[in-house]
Homo-oligomer: A and B are copies of this chain.
Amino acid sequence: MNEALPLGAMIGILGGGQLGRMLSVAAARLGFRTHIYEPSANPPAAHVADRLTTASYDDAEALRAFAQSVDVITYEFENIPTAALDLLESLRPIRPNRRALAVSQERIAEKDFLTSLGLTTAPYAAVTTLEDLHTALARIGTPSILKTCRLGYDGKGQARLHSPADAESALAQMDGAPAVLEGFVSFTHEVSVIAARGLDGSVACYDPGENVHRDGILHTTTLPAKLTNAQRTDAVLLAARILNALEYVGVMGVELFVTPQGLLVNEIAPRVHNSGHWTQNGCAVDQFEQHIRAVTGWPLGDGSRFADVVMENLIGDDIARIPALAREKNAALHLYGKSEARPGRKMGHVNRIIGR
């Protein structure tokens, strides 16, 4: 632990949502303090953080003061403006690194990177004009899905095409932004690998979880996933290849489609990931602590799983189920402290532990 940050060091976290919140708690558990940078008021992470800066990502003065107050900078979301990153990086290390961010901020760069590693993705093509889209449709066919290259998650900025006749309306939904057409893949289920790489280059992966989505939002992650031992090994090796290629430091979520032809990479997220929340109640070291260990130069922790777990997201009005969930046996609740329950908003999650 020569390069490790000392106890009491301050970790800067860009983004004050639930991921920043759970990172902050994990950092405290290891004796670190956190400073949250978040443009919006009363962010969930601030309830459990040592310091909060409320400022926009184009406030150079606030960014500078933030960077100078911390020992290392990490983030809970990938769409951080480039200029802000440039300024912050001139003052303090940003982990995971800029390359991981660049690749995951842009869908085509991501897919190009993954295929360059010999990994398989869904067929894809860049689309800016209607002509591009028709050319892409001729190759990829329908059903397919058009997505903006940047931003957009949880079903936002996406349009499904059931036939070439949907082209015009789908493109209109992109609002002029560069997009990517992705072919539908015939997969049996989706799994994700929560992988970590330390400052010393060591890699550790949690047991893959099986994801079920509802309305484009993660609904449940179930451990163990339905995978053969060979698939489990493939999934972990594939994730390690991605992290090593990026000289990544931190936790990454790697979503995979399980198909008869093997595992396809759906997308990667250079951060702790919703599908890794089960680790809070199934492992000695959860994904949040693992991320903090990585970015502070600690050795990666033991992520072996000692219980079966089903994680269920609590979305919007699910918050009304809390009184019942609070009474449920073997259920560990994790609420995010958000004051307003809007449709589609992640309000918390519950980990159901299936122990011995």
Residues of A within 8 A of B (CB): 1, 4, 7-8, 21, 24-25, 28-34, 46-50, 281, 284-285, 293, 298-299, 301-302, 304, 306-307, 319, 322-323, 326-337, 339, 348, 351, 353, 355-356
A226 to B281, CA, bound (A): 26
Contacts A332-B285, A335-B31; A306 near B307 (Cβ below 8 A): yes
Residue in contact with A353 in the complex, picked from B298, B306, B326, CB distance below 8 Å: B306
- Per the bound structure, the CA–CA distance linking A353 and B301 in Å amounts to 13
A29 lies within 8 A of B304 (CB): no
Provide the bound-state CA to CA distance between A329 and B284, in Å.
8
A50: which B residues are within 8 A, CB to CB?
46-48
Q: State how many angstroms separate the Cβ of A63 from the closest Cβ of chain B.
A: 23
Q: Are the CB atoms of B356 and A327 closer together than 8 Å?
A: no
Contact B355 A29 (CB under 8 A): no
Do A1 and B333 touch across chains, with their CB atoms under 8 A apart? no
B298 touches A326 (CB 8 A): yes
Instruction: Assess whether A299 is in contact with B319, with CB atoms less than 8 Å apart.
Output: no
From B299, B323, B336, A327 is in contact (CB under 8 Å) with B299
A31-B336, A31-B337, A47-B49 given; name 15 further pairs at CB < 8 Å.
Answer: A4-B323, A24-B48, A29-B334, A30-B333, A33-B337, A281-B284, A284-B329, A284-B332, A298-B326, A299-B327, A302-B330, A306-B307, A306-B330, A307-B355, A356-B356
**Known contacts A326-B1, A329-B302, A356-B356: does B8 contact A28 (CB below 8 Å)?**
no
26 contacts between A and B (CB under 8 A): A1-B323, A4-B323, A7-B319, A7-B322, A7-B337, A25-B25, A25-B28, A29-B333, A31-B335, A31-B336, A31-B337, A31-B348, A32-B337, A47-B49, A284-B329, A285-B332, A293-B326, A299-B323, A299-B327, A302-B328, A302-B329, A304-B329, A306-B353, A306-B355, A306-B356, A307-B307
A34 to B323, CA, bound (A): 21
Q: Which residues from chain B contact A335 at a C-beta distance below 8 Å?
A: 7, 29-31
4 closest A-B pairs (Cβ-Cβ)?
A306-B355, A31-B335, A284-B332, A48-B48
Q: How far is the CA of A337 from the CA of B329 in the complex (A)?
A: 32
Task: Report the copy number of this chain in the oligomer.
Answer: 2
Bound complex: CA of A1 vs CA of B339, how far in Å?
A: 19
Measured CA separation A31–B339 after assembly (Å): 9
Q: Which residues of B contact A21 (CB under 8 A)?
A: 28
- Chain B residues positioned under 8 Å from A334 (CB to CB): 29
Q: Which residues of B contact A328 (CB under 8 A)?
A: 302
**CB-nearest residue of chain B relative to A1?**
B323
Closest residue of B by beta carbon distance from A24: B48
Q: How long is the Cα–Cα vector from A323 to B293 in the complex, in angstroms?
A: 11
Q: Do the beta carbons of A28 and B47 come within 8 Å of each other?
A: yes
Q: Which residue on chain B has the smallest CB distance to residue A330? A: B284
Q: How far is the CA of A299 from the CA of B356 in the complex (A)?
A: 24
A348 vs B356: C-alpha distance when bound (angstroms): 28
Q: Are A25 and B1 in contact (CB under 8 A)?
A: no
Using CB atoms, name the residue of chain B closest to A280: B29
